[in-house]
Amino acid sequence: MHTSAPIGIFDSGIGGLTVAHAVTRLLPNENIIYFGDTAHLPYGDKSATAIQAYSIKICNVLLQQKCKVILIACNSASAAAYELVKEYVGSKAKVMNVIDPVVAFLGENYANKTIGLIGTKQTVNSNIYRKKIDFLEKGITLKSLATPLLAPMIEEGFFNHNISESIINEYLQNATLDDIEALILGCTHYPLIKKQINQYYNGKVTVLDTSEIVAKSLYDYLESSHLLNEMNAHIRHFYVSDYTQSFETSTKIFFGEQIRLQHYPLWE
Protein backbone atom coordinates (compact mmCIF):
# COMPACT_ATOMS: atom_id res chain seq x y z
CA MET A 1 0.00 0.00 0.00
CA HIS A 2 1.49 3.34 -1.06
CA THR A 3 1.71 6.22 1.42
CA SER A 4 0.12 8.60 -1.11
CA ALA A 5 -3.02 6.44 -1.38
CA PRO A 6 -6.08 8.42 -0.25
CA ILE A 7 -8.10 8.22 2.94
CA GLY A 8 -11.76 7.46 2.25
CA ILE A 9 -14.32 9.03 4.59
CA PHE A 10 -18.07 8.54 4.39
CA ASP A 11 -21.23 9.65 6.15
CA SER A 12 -24.90 10.09 5.37
CA GLY A 13 -24.50 13.82 4.78
CA ILE A 14 -22.62 16.84 6.11
CA GLY A 15 -21.92 15.43 9.58
CA GLY A 16 -18.81 13.55 8.49
CA LEU A 17 -17.35 16.83 7.29
CA THR A 18 -16.53 17.55 10.94
CA VAL A 19 -14.32 14.45 10.89
CA ALA A 20 -12.90 15.27 7.45
CA HIS A 21 -12.04 18.78 8.61
CA ALA A 22 -10.33 17.47 11.75
CA VAL A 23 -8.37 14.99 9.62
CA THR A 24 -7.19 17.65 7.14
CA ARG A 25 -6.05 19.89 9.98
CA LEU A 26 -4.06 17.14 11.67
CA LEU A 27 -2.93 15.44 8.43
CA PRO A 28 -2.65 18.24 5.85
CA ASN A 29 -0.63 16.16 3.38
CA GLU A 30 -3.15 13.34 3.10
CA ASN A 31 -5.32 12.86 0.02
CA ILE A 32 -8.99 12.75 1.02
CA ILE A 33 -12.00 11.21 -0.74
CA TYR A 34 -15.27 12.05 0.97
CA PHE A 35 -18.60 10.43 0.19
CA GLY A 36 -21.77 12.03 1.52
CA ASP A 37 -24.76 9.74 1.05
CA THR A 38 -27.15 12.67 0.84
CA ALA A 39 -29.77 10.60 -0.98
CA HIS A 40 -30.36 8.54 2.17
CA LEU A 41 -29.76 10.96 5.03
CA PRO A 42 -30.12 10.79 7.91
CA TYR A 43 -28.94 7.27 8.74
CA GLY A 44 -30.11 7.62 12.34
CA ASP A 45 -33.69 6.61 11.60
CA LYS A 46 -32.86 3.84 9.10
CA SER A 47 -32.78 0.11 9.80
CA ALA A 48 -29.44 -1.61 10.36
CA THR A 49 -30.00 -3.62 7.17
CA ALA A 50 -30.47 -0.48 5.07
CA ILE A 51 -27.40 1.19 6.57
CA GLN A 52 -25.32 -1.91 5.86
CA ALA A 53 -26.44 -1.92 2.22
CA TYR A 54 -25.58 1.76 1.77
CA SER A 55 -22.21 1.29 3.49
CA ILE A 56 -21.14 -1.60 1.27
CA LYS A 57 -22.09 0.36 -1.85
CA ILE A 58 -20.01 3.32 -0.71
CA CYS A 59 -17.07 1.08 0.21
CA ASN A 60 -17.05 -0.21 -3.35
CA VAL A 61 -16.62 3.37 -4.56
CA LEU A 62 -13.78 4.02 -2.10
CA LEU A 63 -12.05 0.74 -2.90
CA GLN A 64 -12.13 1.66 -6.59
CA GLN A 65 -10.18 4.77 -5.59
CA LYS A 66 -7.52 2.56 -3.90
CA CYS A 67 -8.04 4.07 -0.44
CA LYS A 68 -5.56 2.94 2.20
CA VAL A 69 -8.04 3.67 5.00
CA ILE A 70 -11.85 3.71 4.98
CA LEU A 71 -13.15 5.77 7.89
CA ILE A 72 -16.84 5.37 8.72
CA ALA A 73 -17.50 8.95 9.83
CA CYS A 74 -20.98 8.23 11.11
CA ASN A 75 -21.96 6.82 14.50
CA SER A 76 -25.08 5.12 13.13
CA ALA A 77 -23.11 3.36 10.39
CA SER A 78 -20.28 2.58 12.82
CA ALA A 79 -22.80 0.88 15.10
CA ALA A 80 -24.73 -0.95 12.39
CA ALA A 81 -22.20 -1.73 9.66
CA TYR A 82 -18.61 -1.63 10.94
CA GLU A 83 -18.15 -5.39 11.44
CA LEU A 84 -19.74 -6.18 8.07
CA VAL A 85 -17.68 -3.52 6.25
CA LYS A 86 -14.46 -4.73 7.90
CA GLU A 87 -15.16 -8.29 6.77
CA TYR A 88 -16.15 -7.14 3.27
CA VAL A 89 -13.08 -4.94 2.75
CA GLY A 90 -10.68 -7.51 4.19
CA SER A 91 -7.03 -6.68 3.62
CA LYS A 92 -7.71 -4.18 0.82
CA ALA A 93 -7.81 -1.26 3.26
CA LYS A 94 -7.82 -0.49 6.97
CA VAL A 95 -11.39 0.11 8.18
CA MET A 96 -11.92 2.49 11.10
CA ASN A 97 -15.02 3.75 12.88
CA VAL A 98 -15.81 6.75 15.07
CA ILE A 99 -16.84 4.80 18.17
CA ASP A 100 -13.78 2.74 19.18
CA PRO A 101 -11.38 5.74 19.42
CA VAL A 102 -13.85 7.57 21.67
CA VAL A 103 -14.36 4.55 23.93
CA ALA A 104 -10.57 4.16 24.23
CA PHE A 105 -10.25 7.87 25.09
CA LEU A 106 -12.87 7.52 27.82
CA GLY A 107 -11.08 4.51 29.26
CA GLU A 108 -7.84 6.48 29.48
CA ASN A 109 -9.31 9.71 30.86
CA TYR A 110 -12.68 9.11 32.56
CA ALA A 111 -12.39 6.04 34.76
CA ASN A 112 -15.04 5.97 37.53
CA LYS A 113 -16.82 9.00 36.03
CA THR A 114 -20.42 9.53 34.92
CA ILE A 115 -20.60 10.30 31.20
CA GLY A 116 -23.52 11.45 29.05
CA LEU A 117 -24.11 10.48 25.44
CA ILE A 118 -26.39 12.10 22.88
CA GLY A 119 -26.89 10.56 19.46
CA THR A 120 -29.36 9.26 16.92
CA LYS A 121 -31.94 6.61 17.73
CA GLN A 122 -29.90 4.04 15.81
CA THR A 123 -26.74 4.77 17.80
CA VAL A 124 -28.40 4.96 21.22
CA ASN A 125 -30.73 1.98 20.73
CA SER A 126 -27.86 -0.19 19.50
CA ASN A 127 -26.26 0.13 22.98
CA ILE A 128 -22.90 -0.07 21.21
CA TYR A 129 -21.25 2.57 23.42
CA ARG A 130 -22.56 0.98 26.62
CA LYS A 131 -21.35 -2.50 25.61
CA LYS A 132 -17.88 -1.27 24.67
CA ILE A 133 -17.55 0.94 27.76
CA ASP A 134 -18.68 -1.85 30.09
CA PHE A 135 -16.13 -4.17 28.46
CA LEU A 136 -13.35 -1.78 29.60
CA GLU A 137 -14.28 -2.42 33.26
CA LYS A 138 -13.20 1.13 34.19
CA GLY A 139 -16.18 1.96 36.38
CA ILE A 140 -17.65 4.39 33.86
CA THR A 141 -21.38 5.09 34.19
CA LEU A 142 -23.01 5.98 30.85
CA LYS A 143 -26.26 7.91 30.52
CA SER A 144 -27.57 7.86 26.94
CA LEU A 145 -30.26 10.03 25.34
CA ALA A 146 -31.54 9.79 21.77
CA THR A 147 -31.76 13.26 20.19
CA PRO A 148 -33.30 12.52 16.76
CA LEU A 149 -34.16 16.11 15.80
CA LEU A 150 -30.59 17.39 15.94
CA ALA A 151 -29.08 15.78 12.81
CA PRO A 152 -31.87 16.82 10.39
CA MET A 153 -31.89 20.27 12.00
CA ILE A 154 -28.19 20.65 11.28
CA GLU A 155 -28.57 19.25 7.75
CA GLU A 156 -31.08 22.06 7.10
CA GLY A 157 -28.56 24.66 8.26
CA PHE A 158 -30.11 25.42 11.64
CA PHE A 159 -27.06 25.70 13.88
CA ASN A 160 -25.91 28.73 15.86
CA HIS A 161 -29.52 29.82 15.57
CA ASN A 162 -32.33 30.53 18.05
CA ILE A 163 -34.27 27.55 16.67
CA SER A 164 -31.37 25.18 17.32
CA GLU A 165 -30.83 26.69 20.77
CA SER A 166 -34.41 25.88 21.79
CA ILE A 167 -34.18 22.28 20.59
CA ILE A 168 -30.74 21.73 22.14
CA ASN A 169 -31.84 23.11 25.50
CA GLU A 170 -34.99 20.98 25.48
CA TYR A 171 -32.92 17.82 25.04
CA LEU A 172 -30.16 18.72 27.51
CA GLN A 173 -32.70 19.50 30.24
CA ASN A 174 -33.81 15.86 30.17
CA ALA A 175 -33.35 14.21 33.56
CA THR A 176 -31.47 11.34 31.90
CA LEU A 177 -28.43 13.62 31.62
CA ASP A 178 -28.46 14.83 35.22
CA ASP A 179 -25.15 14.75 37.13
CA ILE A 180 -22.89 13.96 34.18
CA GLU A 181 -19.26 15.11 34.18
CA ALA A 182 -18.69 14.92 30.42
CA LEU A 183 -20.87 14.64 27.33
CA ILE A 184 -20.06 12.56 24.25
CA LEU A 185 -21.29 14.11 21.01
CA GLY A 186 -22.33 10.74 19.61
CA CYS A 187 -23.08 11.96 16.10
CA THR A 188 -20.60 13.57 13.74
CA HIS A 189 -23.11 16.34 13.02
CA TYR A 190 -23.01 17.54 16.61
CA PRO A 191 -19.63 19.36 16.67
CA LEU A 192 -21.44 21.98 14.58
CA ILE A 193 -23.55 22.79 17.65
CA LYS A 194 -20.78 22.30 20.22
CA LYS A 195 -20.65 26.05 20.92
CA GLN A 196 -24.33 26.11 21.86
CA ILE A 197 -24.00 22.96 23.98
CA ASN A 198 -21.04 24.55 25.81
CA GLN A 199 -23.12 27.66 26.41
CA TYR A 200 -25.86 25.55 27.98
CA TYR A 201 -23.47 23.82 30.40
CA ASN A 202 -21.42 26.99 31.06
CA GLY A 203 -18.24 25.06 31.81
CA LYS A 204 -19.85 22.63 34.26
CA VAL A 205 -19.67 19.68 31.86
CA THR A 206 -16.82 18.81 29.47
CA VAL A 207 -18.16 18.49 25.93
CA LEU A 208 -16.10 15.94 23.99
CA ASP A 209 -15.55 16.72 20.31
CA THR A 210 -15.30 13.20 18.96
CA SER A 211 -14.05 14.35 15.53
CA GLU A 212 -10.75 15.45 17.04
CA ILE A 213 -10.38 12.19 18.98
CA VAL A 214 -11.03 10.18 15.80
CA ALA A 215 -8.54 12.23 13.76
CA LYS A 216 -5.84 11.62 16.39
CA SER A 217 -6.56 7.88 16.28
CA LEU A 218 -6.20 7.91 12.50
CA TYR A 219 -2.90 9.80 12.78
CA ASP A 220 -1.58 7.26 15.30
CA TYR A 221 -2.50 4.36 13.00
CA LEU A 222 -0.87 5.90 9.93
CA GLU A 223 2.26 6.77 11.86
CA SER A 224 2.65 3.33 13.45
CA SER A 225 1.99 1.64 10.08
CA HIS A 226 4.46 3.92 8.23
CA LEU A 227 1.65 5.12 5.96
CA LEU A 228 1.84 8.86 6.56
CA ASN A 229 1.96 10.80 3.30
CA GLU A 230 5.12 12.93 3.36
CA MET A 231 4.37 14.68 0.07
CA ASN A 232 3.14 18.30 0.22
CA ALA A 233 0.62 17.99 -2.60
CA HIS A 234 -2.82 16.86 -1.54
CA ILE A 235 -6.02 16.07 -3.40
CA ARG A 236 -9.56 16.28 -2.03
CA HIS A 237 -12.55 14.80 -3.84
CA PHE A 238 -16.11 15.12 -2.61
CA TYR A 239 -18.82 12.77 -3.87
CA VAL A 240 -22.53 13.00 -3.07
CA SER A 241 -25.25 10.50 -3.90
CA ASP A 242 -27.69 13.39 -4.37
CA TYR A 243 -26.80 17.05 -4.78
CA THR A 244 -28.03 19.37 -2.03
CA GLN A 245 -27.43 23.08 -1.58
CA SER A 246 -26.85 22.64 2.16
CA PHE A 247 -23.99 20.21 1.53
CA GLU A 248 -22.23 22.59 -0.85
CA THR A 249 -22.70 25.47 1.59
CA SER A 250 -21.30 23.37 4.44
CA THR A 251 -18.17 22.39 2.50
CA LYS A 252 -17.43 26.10 1.99
CA ILE A 253 -17.90 26.77 5.71
CA PHE A 254 -15.54 23.96 6.69
CA PHE A 255 -12.79 24.32 4.13
CA GLY A 256 -12.88 28.03 3.36
CA GLU A 257 -12.87 27.39 -0.36
CA GLN A 258 -15.14 26.39 -3.19
CA ILE A 259 -15.43 22.60 -3.27
CA ARG A 260 -16.49 20.85 -6.44
CA LEU A 261 -19.08 18.21 -5.68
CA GLN A 262 -19.26 15.19 -7.95
CA HIS A 263 -22.65 13.51 -8.22
CA TYR A 264 -22.36 9.73 -7.82
CA PRO A 265 -25.74 7.94 -7.58
CA LEU A 266 -25.34 4.71 -5.63
CA TRP A 267 -28.05 2.65 -7.30
CA GLU A 268 -27.67 3.44 -11.00
Residues 107, 74 share a domain: no
pLDDT of 159 over the 80 cut: no
- Judge whether 16 is annotated as a binding position: no
Of 59, 74, 168, 218, catalytic:
74
State whether 183 and 238 are in the same domain.
no
- Is 226 known to sit in a ligand binding site? no
Both 176 and 121 in one domain: the answer is: yes
pLDDT for 254 beyond 70: no
* Predicted pLDDT of residue 268: 57
Q: Would residue 59 show up in a list of annotated catalytic residues for this protein? A: no
Residue 268 belongs to a domain: no
Q: What is the mean pLDDT of the chain?
A: 91
Q: How far is CA 198 from the centre of its chain?
A: 19
* Residue 142 shares a structural domain with residue 117: yes
Q: Which residue has the higher pLDDT, 91 or 256?
A: 91
Domain assignment of residue 187, yes or no: yes
Tell me the Ramachandran region of residue 179: left when phi exceeds 0, alpha when psi lies from -120 to 50, beta otherwise.
Answer: left
Statement to judge: residues 133 and 107 lie in one domain: yes
Q: Tell me whether residue 12 is annotated as binding.
A: yes
Mean pLDDT over residues 119-127, rounded?
92
| Inside any domain, residue 2 | no
Catalytic residue, candidates 22, 59, 184, 187: 187
Strand residue runs (E) in the chain: 7-11, 32-36, 69-72, 94-97, 114-119, 141-146, 182-186, 206-208, 236-240, 261-263
Task: Give 216-252 pLDDT, tens digit per residue.
Answer: 999 999 999 999 998 877 788 999 999 877 777 777 7
Q: What's the total number of domains in the chain? A: 2
Domain assignment present for residue 241? The answer is yes
Alpha helices in 75-205 (DSSP H): 75-89, 100-109, 121-126, 128-136, 150-155, 162-172, 194-201
pLDDT at 61 over 60: yes
Question: Is 74 annotated in the active site?
Answer: yes
Best CA proximity match to 178, nearest among 126, 128, 123, 115: 115
Among 210, 238, 255, the domain boundary falls at: 210
The CATH code of the domain that includes 39 is 3.40.50.1860
Q: Is 8 annotated as a binding residue?
A: no
Q: Are residues 170 and 117 in the same domain?
A: yes
Can you give the residue range of the structural domain that contains 148? 100-210
**119 and 33 in one domain?**
no
Of 175, 192, 210, at which residue does a domain stop? 210
Let me know whether 190 and 151 are in one domain: yes
**Percentage above 70 pLDDT, the chain:** 97
pLDDT of the residue at 255: 67
User: Looking at the domain assignment, is residue 138 inside a domain?
Assistant: yes
